[in-house]
Structure 1
């Protein structure tokens, strides 16, 4: 690389012989306190990057989900491995993004990655049936809760309050509300970053990659497991999509009379259905899947506005804003909560129509005839 140099601190644990799971045991022992970052680059690859581009790591940026190619004839186990690898990459990358960058997209993509991971566990639960998977799902839920509060703060501050301030410039309290919220978000961001570099978060990602890369779902006493793992992914896809659709339909039953909590449950089930559709979409033609997916996205967008009203109320009521002795700020808090609730009620009428459209869309996973 000529005169170019960059510092590199790397730990490489190489398997000479034995069980691959031992690699992860050693990693736990050597680095118990957190702070690791995974890498797929060899030292030679870094050298070429340094010579050609002047850096040894690609620029760090929030990582979106990517589609995993699937073959209808491959086994459910292989499909599970590849999809879980993709979920791991999104989670692990965005954990580092949140530690090093002040980018609101980082918390968003990390929460999406954790939700996709839990949805993938749900899709493949019938064939994997693993207590370790259940434990990892609980850890993903914990980490999602940690990140979720920050993401909600970012949405309220950067999207909702900013929109109200731009729409209603005659309300000066809206602009005044921005500063204390950003100050609170900065404090929460620091706390979340510390959690992400801690021992529990690192143990989660180490155990997740061990689960994926060493077939951590294998249970010697489960004599039926081999048959389940060999299930063609196309067959599992039909069953999984039908099950998610049934759960969503159950939540939407008597949609005219759903409470706020029941509407929220419907939104969550439709989100799980959306992730399952995204995971399994490579198995179907675009002509077959696009009508359903487009209608599903439309109702999700509408239900997102309903969720905004819940987030606004929870965030503004839980944040220590009532101590601010400013009548304009207190007026702005009531304004934002009231406006978001009014918008939610209007969106709910549209959501009911969007649900009827989705019900009428062909269920692409069903076999013809």
Structure 2
């Protein structure tokens, strides 16, 4: 049996407020029923089941005990898909030999290998549940769990919402989420209760520390089809975006907006690279939303860079220029206001709809176009074929933009920078398909040329931000500081640009690793 559900953390609303929203939605057949569920998760002393991706649970539901085994768990963007096998457990005793599915039973017994099973953690949840239905026949169980996770003498509170599919398509779960979380503020639950219990037992907490999330490499095989490779990379982009949305909402760390913008850019690059197989109206719409959100996040990121990196660097190097420190403080205050506005945006309905729709797109094959009869064949093509074509196209564009590199004007340099960034993202997406000794030299030289163009972009950002007609009005020290920073950033960029031709030549000499 397969269990498919959407999971959310109930952050701000109380359970009673949430159920009032459910009632107003008219999706529920009746009021919720409430019961207390006690669940005990077991494993060997060496946690052999956890290492194999298996969760073994004993749950007391009323007067009866049920043994449940969960396997092949996947959790992306709050959507949990897991294999589940249940059987009665008289007296609340675990009995792997009684697992009814032979393949699951054999897997569990092999993992346990005669070792004793012992409790790792326990959950005690007050569950309020009701059945929901949509006009298309989709049926789902809505459950609100409020309670505690206990492990190793520690306890932690958890409030979680689960929407489990009973009948119909998983797409219906996302439609329900849109209705129930129409006011914004939604936060995906990114760990199962079992994973939280293990974390509490081992580290004393039920969530990893909240911190900016960098992009992670995704390994794809040469014989993998294009659709599966695209899905895996999209999942990585989704996780980076969703995590950093929460980071920006809750932390002042300037790396949060930076990684959120990178995640959005990488998402749009995936759309571009995989356009031959993913092209669809929904992909186009999501790409537009990612562009809009990236522009909003970019306002804060640019202020952070100018205030915390560029101006502070000059202030630290030249402490005898008091206007520099004052300028840095002024920009930091502006950044606080922009951060406040961005946080309001990130808990609003538009960003929430984007995250729900992006998850649905990734997890329910939202790229399928019924009228496109050739799409199935393109989706099934080997990803290696698509990789070579995509990288070749982007390399050709870079070489075209780099012609006569020493004579490029500001706009032409900016266009070259954008093409280099697109090539780098594509190279990173497909790098696992090629030998490392061929990929690394190419990427190293590409990044060096990017750095030169990045300094040029920073200089342009500084000038656009600080050279307005009212900048430093009436304040000689402020005007001096602004002129200082603009001049220093321009000089730094131009100095770096003198080596651009040599770096471009080095990149040309690095044989394209995909050929």
Q: Structures share a fold, TM > 0.5?
A: yes
User: Which structure 2 residues correspond to residues 25-36 of structure 1 after superposition, within 5 A?
Assistant: 25-36=175-186
For the pair 1:216 / 2:366, whether they are aligned, the reply is yes
How far, CA to CA, are the matches of 1:60 and 1:35 in structure 2?
Answer: 17
User: Which structure 2 residues correspond to residues 57-72 of structure 1 after superposition, within 5 A?
Assistant: 57-72=207-222
Match for residue 391 of structure 2 among 221, 236, 241: 241
CA contact (8 A) 2:441 2:510 kept: yes
Which stretch has the larger CA shift, 43-52 or 254-263?
43-52
What is the CA-CA distance between 1:88 and the residue it aligns to? 0.4
How far, CA to CA, are the matches of 1:309 and 1:44 in structure 2?
Answer: 49
For the pair 1:124 / 2:274, whether they are aligned, the reply is yes
* Larger relative contact order, structure 1 or 2 (CA cutoff 8 Å, min sep 6): 1
Match for residue 238 of structure 2 among 56, 68, 88: 88
| Counterpart in the other structure of 2:192 | 42
| Counterpart in the other structure of 1:153 | 303
How far, CA to CA, are the matches of 2:158 and 2:371 in structure 1?
Answer: 44
How far, CA to CA, are the matches of 1:26 and 1:352 in structure 2?
Answer: 55
Q: 1:319 to 1:275 in 2, by over 3 A?
A: farther
SS in structure 1 of the partner of residue 188 of structure 2: coil
Match for residue 496 of structure 2 among 325, 339, 347: 347
Which structure has the bigger radius of gyration? 2
Which stretch has the larger CA shift, 14-23 or 52-61?
52-61
More helix by share: 1
The runs of 5 or more residues in structure 2 that have no matched partner are: 1-149
The runs of 5 or more residues in structure 1 that have no matched partner are: none
What is the CA-CA distance between 1:164 and the residue it aligns to? 0.9
Which stretch has the larger CA shift, 23-32 or 36-45?
36-45
CA RMSD of aligned residues (A): 1.5
| Cα distance per residue 1:209-267 (max 9 Å; x no partner) | 10000000011111000110011011100000001111111211222321101101100
Match for residue 12 of structure 1 among 162, 185, 189: 162
How far, CA to CA, are the matches of 1:100 and 1:40 in structure 2?
Answer: 16
SS in structure 2 of the partner of residue 16 of structure 1: strand
More strand by share: 2
What is the CA-CA distance between 1:303 and the residue it aligns to? 1.2
Alignment length, in residue pairs?
A: 365
For the pair 1:365 / 2:514, whether they are aligned, the reply is yes
Match for residue 260 of structure 2 among 82, 107, 110: 110
SS in structure 2 of the partner of residue 340 of structure 1: helix
Q: 1:217 to 1:318 in 2, by over 3 A?
A: farther
| Cα distance per residue 1:304-358 (max 9 Å; x no partner) | 11111011112223696434x4211111001101111122122111112211111
| Counterpart in the other structure of 1:299 | 449
What is the CA-CA distance between 1:69 and the residue it aligns to? 1.0
How far, CA to CA, are the matches of 1:317 and 1:334 in structure 2?
Answer: 8
| Cα distance per residue 1:278-316 (max 9 Å; x no partner) | 110000011111121111011011111111101111222
How far, CA to CA, are the matches of 1:44 and 1:7 in structure 2?
Answer: 14
| Counterpart in the other structure of 1:186 | 336
What is the CA-CA distance between 1:116 and the residue it aligns to? 0.6
